Structure 1
């Protein structure tokens, strides 16, 4: 099913190289992503800790315990949410600053559903899985007071995606929302429940596209809840 309103554009395609990470004891960080002006291959990276880590060829991930793998293969953030943050922070925010691979325009990521499927260009199909949980590396990069708490409270997390169909993408490519699940659970709602409202965790289980590791964690937390 193609939704006529679900059409956007890949404004910037961003790739990160290994750089020192003063915020964590890891081999480095790839959060400092920079726009590229050529096509890039995306492919399934495999398991989080033992696979190829990023789904974007040439992109580096340092903290492989918390980032990368098939269920976090690609990270997207929208220019619309950047504009919101720019107004909040009183400064310009360039594509790639948040460490996203895909800077999008025209797709409402704040109201994206877990399990939305996107086609980028002629080849690649991606599926949204969950929002981004901020970490100390992100805090250090932004150099904003209480950044982790502010980012978490705003709920404008961007979207992690898994790769359903591999191929090449390039800057300026058309992004089309191919399919939406019927459950209506947005990434923002799921993130808010997971972070702040454990009494509603069962709501997250309606999303088949939820990462299996996250689903197992939720089920464990629910099983440990009295009553």
Structure 2
């Protein structure tokens, strides 16, 4: 497949709350809902940990995105591929972690997601690959926590997304706010 430099590498979904999600030929994003047929889709939060704490909380984690470049960074210690860290969309060519809050990512011809924050990796990551959690949470030179396990978003315009689709980043108006954990 010959993909544009900023593109969708893979798409994934799972109807159950498994850690990894199998890749698919395409996914359908539904405005205000998430990925059609995915266990984390809904108006209110669907992540089991959040549901226990605050079942009525708005779902700011409808679509999880990870940059393919993370897999290359981890390759000397771990074999990880698209969907295995639970993401719905694997991207290439965009540093997702550096995007400001409210960035809109256009996926394919019609779908748009709005970045709501960083994913905080949970301990299930170590059950998937021992020691992976430590590789996904690091410290910067000032002692600040760096979370590398992708970004979360909400769907603001629906549509089909498939591997090979171009993606385009639309930054929000300044001032740009850094991403926090959702």
Q: What TM-score bracket applies, with the shorter chain setting the length?
A: 0.7 to 0.9
Question: What is the distance in 2 between the residues matched to 1:181 and 1:113?
Answer: 10
CA distance in 1, matches of 2:159, 2:58: 17
Aligned to 1:195: none
RMSD, matched Cα: 2.4
What TM-score do the two structures reach when normalised by structure 1? 0.63
In structure 1, how many angstroms separate the alpha carbons of the residues matched to 2:24 and 2:152?
20
Which one of 70, 79, 85 corresponds to residue 59 of structure 2? 70
User: What's the offset of the Cα at 1:94?
Assistant: 1.0
| Residues 56 and 81 of structure 1: CA distance in aligned 2, closer, same or farther (over 3 Å) | same
Contact 1:96 1:103 in 2 (8 A): yes
Distance (Å, rounded) in 2 between the aligned partners of 1:148 and 1:92: 14
Whether 2:35 is the aligned partner of 1:56: answer yes
Q: 1:41 aligns with which of 28, 39, 52?
A: 28
Q: Following TM superposition, by how much is the alpha carbon of 1:45 offset from its aligned partner in structure 2, in angstroms?
A: 5.3
Identify the structure with bigger relative contact order (alpha carbons < 8 Å, sequence gap 6+). 2
Q: Which residue of 2 aligns with 1:164?
A: 156
Counterpart Cα distance in 2 of 1:91 and 1:150: 9
Q: Which residue of 2 aligns with 1:174?
A: 166
Q: Report the 3-state secondary structure (helix = DSSP H, G, I; strand = E; otherwise coil) of the residue aligned with 2:75.
A: helix
For 2:96, the equivalent position in structure 1 comes to: 109
Query: Please, which runs of 5 or more residues in structure 1 have no aligned partner?
Result: 1-6, 19-28, 47-54, 192-213, 215-227
Cα displacement (A) at 1:105: 0.3
Structure 2 residue aligned with 1:9:
7
Judging changes above 3 Å, is the alpha-carbon distance between structure 1 residues 152 and 166 closer, same or farther for their aligned structure 2 residues? same
Q: TM-score, normalised by structure 2?
A: 0.76
Q: Which residue of 1 aligns with 2:110?
A: 123
Moved segments of 4+, more than 3 Å: 61-65, 67-70, 147-150
1:86 matched to which residue of 2? 75
- Is residue 151 of structure 1 aligned with residue 140 of structure 2? no
Structure possessing the higher radius of gyration over alpha carbons: 1
C-alpha separation in 2, matches of 1:158 and 1:56: 17
CA contact (8 A) 1:77 1:100 kept: yes
d(CA) in 1 for partners of 2:108, 2:115: 17
